[in-house]
């Protein structure tokens, strides 16, 4: 129960001043968007949304990211970065500049994601909280499915079909049908697919 209260007490602030241009909208195990995106002019200061220890500050799949752990088991990551200004092991305070915003797949902004015990959660649940809310914490304790690490066995029924019935191989950057959601899902989200086999590095 102590962990539940600790996580409930974690309050995030926006990493940049821009508005949210893409909401958290995961679809199944492979589609949708597993964080929120803020609009930001490339080169703008990116501030730590929370105080904690930097557990990752480097590039993964060609995308610069910073991850901060405020309490054990809970991590906050920022991606689409032009430059990283902290190092793994650093202690940072909320509001401290940790990076500069960049561009990913032609979209300028900053991607913010949160994970509880390796499972992605909606960052909005932690935004601007004023006090410990046990009910919100319990919702975090039972989060959605973990972000997939590979496309293996995506549809087990296909494994029993003969090769003659297999469709032609899809490009790695193909977009799933469910990715568009009221115009909020933009092409920049394709970059999140790059982390499916490397998110454990965060």
Give me the CATH number covering residue 182: 2.70.70.10
In the chain, the number of structural domains is 1
pLDDT at 152: 41
For residue 13, give its domain range.
2-152+172-201
The pLDDT value given to residue 75: 97
Residue pair 184/32 in contact (Cβ under 8 Å)? The answer is no
**Residue 110: strand pairing partners:** 38
Which phi and psi (to 5°) does residue 62 adopt?
80, 5
User: CB 106: neighbour CB atoms within 10 A?
Assistant: 8
pLDDT in tens, 63-114: 999 999 999 999 999 999 999 999 999 999 999 999 999 999 899 999 999 9
Residue 2 predicted with pLDDT over 50? no
Flag whether 23 is in a domain: yes
Token pair of 51 as six digits: 């105080």
Flag whether 157 is in a domain: no
What pLDDT digit, counting tens, does each position of 144-195 carry? 445 444 444 444 444 444 444 444 444 444 333 333 344 444 444 444 444 4
- Note the pLDDT of residue 28: 76
- Taken as a whole, the chain contains a residue count of 202
In a domain, 91, yes or no: yes
Closest CA to 42 of 109, 94, 97, 95: 109
Residue 159 placed within a domain = no
CA neighbor of 109 nearest in space, from 176, 187, 195: 187
Using CA atoms, how far residue 7 sits from 54, 69, 130, 139, 174, in Å, is 17, 11, 13, 11, 36
CA atoms within 13 A on the CB side of 39: 6
Backbone angles phi, psi at 25, to 5 degrees: -150, 70
**Phi (first) and psi of residue 32, to 5 degrees:** 75, -155
């Amino acid at each position: 129960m102590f962990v539940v209260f600790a996580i409930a007490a974690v309050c995030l602030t926006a990493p940049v001043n821009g508005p949210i241009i893409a909401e958290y909208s995961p679809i199944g195990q492979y589609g949708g968007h597993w964080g929120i995106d803020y609009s930001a002019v490339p080169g703008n200061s990116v501030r730590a949304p929370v105080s904690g220890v930097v557990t990752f500050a480097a590039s993964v799949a060609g995308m610069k990211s910073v991850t901060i752990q405020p309490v054990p088991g809970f991590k906050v990551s920022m991606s689409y970065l032009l430059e990283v200004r902290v190092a793994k092991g650093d202690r940072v305070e909320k509001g401290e500049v940790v990076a500069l915003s960049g561009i990913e797949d032609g979209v300028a902004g900053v991607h913010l994601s949160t994970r509880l015990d390796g499972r992605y959660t909606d960052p909005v649940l932690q935004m601007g909280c004023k006090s410990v809310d046990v009910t919100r914490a319990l919702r975090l304790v039972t989060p959605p499915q973990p972000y997939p690490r590979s496309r293996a066995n995506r549809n087990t029924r296909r494994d029993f079909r003969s090769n003659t019935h297999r469709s032609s191989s899809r490009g790695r950057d193909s977009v799933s049908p469910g990715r568009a959601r009221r115009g909020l899902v933009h092409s920049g989200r394709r970059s999140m697919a790059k982390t499916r086999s490397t998110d454990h590095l965060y």
